[in-house]
Structure 1
Amino acid sequence: MSENASRDGPADCGHTSLRTASTFRNVITPAVLFRLALGWGAFAAVLTAEPVLSAHLPSPLLVGVLVGITAVIIVCAFGVVAEAEHLAHRLGDPYGTLVLTLSIVLIEVVLISAVMLGPGEHLTIARDSVMAVSMIILNLVIGIALLVGGMRHGALEPNRTGVSSYLSLLVVLTTLAFVLPGLIGSDGAYGRGQEIPIIALTVLLYAFFLHLQMGRQRADFQEVSPRHSVTGTSDAVAVRRPPITEVLSQHRKEVGLRAVTLVMTVLPIVLLSHDMAALLDDGLDRAGAPVALSGILIAMIVFLPETITAVRAAHAGEIQRVSNLCHGALVSTVGLTIPAVLTIGLLTGQTVVLAEDPTNLALLGVTLLLSVTTFAGKKVTPLHGAAHLLVFLIYGLTVFS
């Protein structure tokens, strides 16, 4: 028996090596290598040329640099979308979309935290960033997705329990972030004694949500498919998939490699978008545009991979995946950003202003109410998408007012 085992051992190792090499070739394709080289090469070039870029560039050169960075970001964004779709296909929802969402959100949180820990005062950076992301995701991205999906497939049916879970958390988290500091805090910021319970409660709520989303409530975040009974009625049932543990045991090398590739492709997108912030501020200032527009454009660029993925999912009729990408991203953004910046404020003694002005609060309230009414019905339609887009256009008008 030992002789057979010794003969089988090298053969098994050989088969394992061949499978590993095949997996590596399937994941790390020439297109993937090109995008990684392009993204990180562009970031290295921007970092090297920082002394020149920080000077007063001629307007044509400034526009050229901004166009070049944007082009690199778009190429990398399509790479992120490709990896996200592979992971979503392999893992199923909500795990597939959760990898993409957490990758982008965690990097964004780290960069906001790095700005706060850097020189100068940044009292409202978290508020402005999260507010811009909220309006972009809840109105612009969802509006476009509902229009695209509705025009192609007609009315679409989301998993209402899952969407309701997202929106319930968003109502609570945005209230803690933008409303409560103006009511119980001082000058729009929580007091030192108030920050600790807010941090703890936010982290606990978000952790409990992730625990349920990846556990017993997983089916609430999966696509529903029509099931027709003998009476001709139709009920929505979640599409069943094998357990995540089984999928990971069979494809752990592929999943791990794709996850690392996704993160390594996302990272230059976020780094480049923040590096171009100063250039964009300069360009908008020369054009006479409001400075607040810069934050909105940067947020749109950072979440470009999720936007493309959400629109493609809507085009394929996967409306629950749209919700997982959009609502899930915003829950993660608020649930991670607010505790992070409040913790940094406590440790460094900085004041973190979170309370929003009445105009943005009114628009946020309308957005949340519209989101609830959009997904409360059995079907979502292109008309819902048009309503969300109108709210985003109104938000854009307030920026220029």
Structure 2
Amino acid sequence: MRSLTRFIAASDLVQVAVGWGALGVLLLAAPLLRPPAPAPLLVVALVIIVAVILVCAFGVVTQAEALARRLGDPYGSLVLTLSIVMIEVVLISAVMLGPGEHTTIARDSVMAVSMIILNLVVGLALLLGGIRYRGMTHNRTGTSAYLGMLVVLIALAFGLPAAIGDGGAFTISQAIAVVAVTVVLYGFFLYRQMGAQAGDFTEVDPSLAHSTALAAEADGDSIRDILRAHRIEILTRLILLITTAVPIVLLSHDMAALLDDGLGRLGAPPALAGVLIAAIVFLPESITAIRAALGREVQRVINLCHGALVSTVGLTIPAVLLIGMATGQRVVLAETPANLLLLAATLLLSVATFAAKRVNAMQGAAHLALFAAYTIVLFA
């Protein structure tokens, strides 16, 4: 017990208690918040939920950064990414299995996540880091692997059903083939990323090498040695990360009805609620990525952002297709022409940005401009 207190601060426990306590209060207050809720009550509830999410987000970031320092990249970033993405996949699946029709939930969720991660978060990270350091060097081999995965996975998920699907949805035989290809490709990517090609996802700046666990590996410590020597700390921080992240995702999805109600009164497009929820769900990764950029750890930014989207598409699409086949639900994945154009432009811009050895603020500004174009499409 004494050894655990070295890794658990009082603030960690407070953040967990605040998150789960807010969930309990929200559950009790649910009858009062059913649409149409009184406007003052609606605003107060949204402000409190966002405040609680921010408290929990900083708790997740604390544990993620501690794990990253201990494990190094790509392992540290992968822990944070998979924890949040897995929770998101479970919740999307739960919505599909619940009452009502949710034929486009996977498409709309992944589209919002794609634009937020690849343009808003990456854009801010490159802009702020580029202004501070003028230019930042990344590991082009690892970045190329991420972008190659994204091109294939996004084409399979959103482009192919528009071209060969039935009304924007795959037939059963097509869905089986897409699930198989996606799962095998994503599984092989993780296997190589955590094994023989782990070095392709580490910082290349020599001044940052001392902060990674793989630098220690060069002195004789492998990732297995690190896990064996620090298993108590790693398990403790992993449990804290997950128990602090779960309230973020649950509160974000419980907030959907409140946002729909409030935005409906303002005349805002319904899709805006999905964008705001996606932004909040991935808030811990976004904060971590911005802080990494300000610390000149641009490869960690790439591991967090591109890795999150690879995992999101690689896990969400097979999950919803399998649920659709098992329950007989129609799963519409084909995107609109405007969104397909934005996805293609985003991938092309990402390839152009990270083909350079050094990334800078101008490239970040270009990504932010593309996110602005996405908001124009939202309100069109």
* TM-score for the superposition, normalised by structure 2: 0.96
1:21 match: 2
Task: State the SS of the aligned residue for 1:276.
Answer: helix
Q: Secondary structure at the match of 2:359?
A: coil
1:182-206 Cα deviation digits (max 9, x unpaired): 1111000000111111111100000
Cα distance between partner residues in 2 of 1:388 and 1:26: 41
* Partner of residue 324 from structure 2, selected from 341, 345, 353: 345
The SS at the match of 2:136 is coil
The whole-number CA distance in structure 2 between the counterparts of 1:397 and 1:21 is 55
Report the equivalent of 1:356. Answer: 335
Other-structure match for 2:162: 182
Match for 1:203 among 163, 179, 183? Answer: 183
Q: Does 1:222 align with 2:197?
A: no
CA distance in 1 between partners of 2:30 and 2:40 (Å): 18
Write the distance in 2 (CA, Å) between the matches of 1:372 and 1:240.
Answer: 28
Hey, what does 2:18 align to over in structure 1?
Answer: 38
Shift of 1:327: 0.1
Amino acid corresponding to residue 341 of structure 2 in structure 1 = A
Residue 328 in 1 paired to residue 303 in 2? no
Q: Is the 8 A contact 2:77 2:303 kept in 1?
A: yes
1:256-282 deviation per Cα after TM superposition (whole angstroms, max 9, x unaligned) = 010010000000000000000000000
Correspondence for 1:240:
215
Alignment of 1:264-275 (within 5 A): 264-275=243-254
Q: What do residues 196-243 of structure 1 show as CA deviations (whole Å, max 9, x unaligned)?
A: 11111100000000000000000000001249xxxxxxxxxx963321
Match of 1:54 in 2: 34
- What percent of counterpart residues are identical? 63
Output the CA distance in 1 between the equivalents of 2:329 and 2:37. Answer: 34
* Matched length: 372
Q: Return the letter of the residue paired with 1:21.
A: R
Task: Tell me the distance in 2 between the aligned counterparts of 1:193 and 1:249.
Answer: 45
- In structure 2, how many angstroms separate the alpha carbons of the residues matched to 1:285 and 1:369? 35
Match of 2:292 in 1: 313
CA distance in 1, matches of 2:196, 2:145: 13
Determine the structure 1 residue equivalent to 2:80.
Answer: 100
SS at 2:215 equivalent: coil
Query: What residue in structure 2 maps to residue 379 of structure 1?
Result: 358
Say whether residues 1:283 and 2:262 are aligned partners: yes
Q: Are the equivalent residues in 2 in contact too, given 1:224–1:239 (CA < 8 A)?
A: no
Give the corresponding residue for 1:71. Answer: 51
TM-fit CA distance, 1:135: 0.4
Alpha-carbon distance in 2 for matches of 1:239, 1:301: 32
Q: Which position in structure 1 is the counterpart of 2:124?
A: 144
1:16 alignment partner in structure 2: none
- CA offsets 1:21-76 (integer angstroms, 9 cap, x no match): 23x11222110111011000001111111111114221111111001000000010
Structure 1 residues 261, 239: CA separation in 2 closer, same or farther (over 3 Å shift)? Answer: closer
Residue 108 (structure 2) pairs with residue 128 (structure 1): yes
**C-alpha separation between the residues in 1 aligned to 2:334 and 2:25?**
38
User: 5+ unaligned residues in a row in structure 2: which ranges?
Assistant: 208-212
Distance 1:301 1:352 in 2: 25
SS in 1 for 2:205: strand
When the two chains are superposed, the root-mean-square deviation of aligned CA atoms in Å is: 1.3
Q: Specify the SS of the correspondent of 1:61.
A: helix
Which whole-Å CA distance do the structure 2 matches of 1:88 and 1:133 have between them?
23
- Name which one, 1 or 2, has greater alpha-carbon Rg: 1
Structure 1 segments, 4+ long, off by >4 Å, are: none
- AA paired with 1:326? C
CA contact (8 A) 2:72 2:214 kept: no
Alignment partners' CA distance in 1, 2:340 and 2:36 = 37
Amino acid at match of 2:2: A
After TM superposition, list the pairs within 5 Å mapping 1:385-396 onto structure 2. 385-396=364-375
Deviating more after overlay: 383-392 vs 40-49: 40-49
Alignment match of 2:89 (pick from 72, 94, 109): 109
Q: CA 1:239–1:95 in structure 2 vs 1: closer, same or farther (change >3 Å)? A: closer
Contact persistence 1:290–1:399 (CA under 8 A): yes
CA distance in 1, matches of 2:215, 2:19: 37
Q: Which amino acid aligns with 1:240?
A: A
Contact 1:158 1:319 in 2 (8 A): yes
Within 2, Cα distance between the matches of 1:218 and 1:383? 29
User: Does structure 2 conserve the Cα–Cα contact (< 8 Å) formed by 1:158 and 1:223?
Assistant: yes
Q: Is the 8 A contact 1:159 1:320 kept in 2?
A: yes
Q: Which residue of structure 1 aligns with residue 210 of structure 2?
A: none
**CA distance in structure 1 between the aligned counterparts of 2:7 and 2:166, rounded to whole angstroms:** 52
Tell me if structure 2 keeps the 8 A contact 1:223–1:239: no
